[in-house]
Structure 1
Amino acid sequence: MKPMSEYDTEAKVSAAESAALELAQTSNETRSDGLRAIADAILERESEILEANEKDVAEAEAMLEAGEYSQALVDRLKLDSTKLESIAEMVRSVADQEDPLGKTLAARELDQDLELYKVAVPIGVLGTVFESRPDALVQIAALSLKSGNSVILKGGSEALHSNRVLYDIIEEVTADIADGWVQLIEAHAEVDAVLEMDEQIDLLMPRGSTEFVQYIQDNTKIPVLGHTEGICHVYVDDAADLEMATDIAFDAKVQYPAVCNAVETLLVHEQVAESFLPEMVEQYESADVEVRGDERTREIVDVNAATASDWETEYGDLIISVKVVEELPEAIDHVNTYGSKHTESIVTENADSAAKFMQSIDASSVFHNASTRFADGYRYGLGAEVGISTGKIHARGPVGLEGLTTTKYYLEGDGQLVATYAGDNPRPFTHEEFDGEWVPGTRSRN
């Protein structure tokens, strides 16, 4: 006999699979109203959520003292009234987004009264494993509901109590839309069971360490979408506005150092290093940032020595490595060598240098004169994101509603047969593109 936990996992996935078929047929109004109900319920049950979160934070702080957790992890875990208001606002912003489903992406006449439509539809059943931030559970669920997908949620054990309450809220207020569309799994054994369900689950979206994401990719046939590390860079060019560069490099590191779009390495052109670095390091040290520099950096400022491993490390903390480079090509080469294809930024007033950097860097987002912290689904106007994809297939960068859809072809005919278009005297296809929206049972050119 199979262990009961495996039966439970199969039942959850089966329920999500059935619900996905139902959810794909619901109206945008129904899905959006469900999201607004989630936002209202989160605020109404604030005390319950915060009480659960306090348990998680207390346990995490004990693990921090024992040296098992980092301060960055504890910071990501914490919720308060302001954070819950922000989460509710995020859910409402997803509700207010344009419906990603049912859009006719292309319309083509194959022949008179034979019309082909390419239409946006849900992917189906999503599976996701994410880190300690409880708001990630709400983000992913909100985007899944708006895009008509069922979702299997697996949060980190450090957010167990918070995740359970948030899941209960979401499940309770949306059960009448498509019962079973959202499911919560908790045990590692359940994750392993999910990895084997390639016929039931259509897409996996892991968010975690490099080792964990690699484990997911190596142990499933399900397509995997996501990113591992966020090793982001800011390059200060010799044509940079140095005051602007200081502000950008400070924001990119200090505004929220625990997230994947925070800068980890600062590259500085040698022509401006002596003018730029002393003020920059002073700013960092005033915010308790540990600065680690290469040899040329330490000739200018008194900082700790950077080692080879620093260039390939995602700190997720108030630590930054600094390297002085001779020219733009060296900066580009460093970023492409050590970057994680996440987000990179150049600060310069030289348009040609900006274009060279932006077009030469292999990353999902590349910025000019802006902080790397802008790499975010909400800030991009996507409503929210399920994560940032550093791959190049299906979706890249912050993955919002559009990234959670696929396409389906609908063909509207009037009794046509393939035999008519084959044989010795075949009828030719017209293959003419036209502007039209697919309406079930009709041909829009008529």
Structure 2
Amino acid sequence: MKPKLLVIGGRPTFQKKALHFFQPGFQVSTAASGREALPLLGNGQPAMVLLGADLPGGGSLEFLRELQQNFPRAKAILFSAFQDMNTTIQAMKLGAYDYVLEDIDLKELDQKIQKAVRILNLNEKIPPLKEPESFPLPSFTLIGQSKAMRELYKFIGLISNTTASVGIRGETGTGKKLVAQVIHQNSPNREGPLVTVDCTTIVETLSESTLYGHEKGSFTGAVESHRGLFEMAAEGTIFLDEIADLPLSMQGKLLRFLQDKEYQRIGGTSQKKSNARIVVATNRDLYQAITQGKFRKDLYYRLKVLTIYIPPLRERREDIPLLIQHFLHKINREHHTRVLKIEDRAVQLLIHYDWPGNVREMENLLTLACILGKEEVILEETVKEILHRSQRLPYDRPHLSSLGEAEEEILKRALRTTQGNLTQAAKLLKISRPTLRTKMQKYRLSLG
């Protein structure tokens, strides 16, 4: 049985063209106004509605609202000769599937309609994803049933009753901060605060004051006493993220703190005690940093005793379906979307993708698919489109004929990924910010 297509409003010439073009594949009905369309709607729910944004007497958006309330499964595409900002925004907020110009090529319009109908059909066939059994989940939850993740859970359990320092190693986006939160949540220090320090943001000249605090008048600009992060952590946990970037001058002081659990404010005359647990994380090879003279060997061995390795997502692909389930429920709660289904071919594409950005990249991709996908079902082509847009698919990479071209392309991708943030781009490329600026000038790259 052919799906129903209702064309409401628009110029008579458009209605005539649409009727002729779509009749082979649809039961097409036309109406000049919303009032004229009401009896046609009463004959059963249409699969698709082409709704003119300039209905006689206005009221297109009100009609769209009523359509969504009474026929929630119907997909509505608005069309008009001119597309203004306010109407477009309001239409999409009200649940329009798309908004097109009236002179759109009908083949292009047909592609949009066929995709929408396919979504409707898949929505009937694909069962919704079940909520996780432990839903609602604790504040900080690691997801996965792979062998690597099960070993990780056991290791966290074994160290939970101690306050020993812990090192976390893993690629960017694997969830190092989340692991630190889980460690804190299960430790004897859980009643205290978890203080997070991004070592890449610490200014070397202020690093000691940032971590240990200072007394009033201890240096120019110290107009009042200041508590450092170690003091704030008190009986809790201090998480030093990207420990490899901690200034070398501070590494010795951190080592002494790890040995004695004591520190002194700048300008202070007495030692202060802290029972804060130290958890550090890095995505870099610390031993290589030692050979480069950027990290202390004695601090490395002090931190190496209890080390957790978080595997990249490509090494635990069997966890991807569980992560999809978890993230879709999370995204629906946080962004008020209603996507609980995903096409099998889309799942397979996600499983076989290498995820250079790991779990964080997956969450970002699914968030984008839910918010911009305009559908209750995530399709394979939606996932492909997002991956192509970020230039992540292997066959989407440009052919590079020289080392210079390769370097230029890498710089462009880093700037795109960080949305022009030079500090983050330099961190991603593992070069200094001045070096990044020099290379940008070399290839005449701008932030525009």
User: Structure 1 length as normaliser, TM-score?
Assistant: 0.25
Instruction: Pick 1 or 2: higher relative contact order, CA cutoff 8 A, min separation 6.
Output: 1
User: Structure 2 length as normaliser, TM-score?
Assistant: 0.25
Asked which structure has the greater CA Rg, the reply is: 2
Between Structure 1 and Structure 2, the one with more helix by share is 2
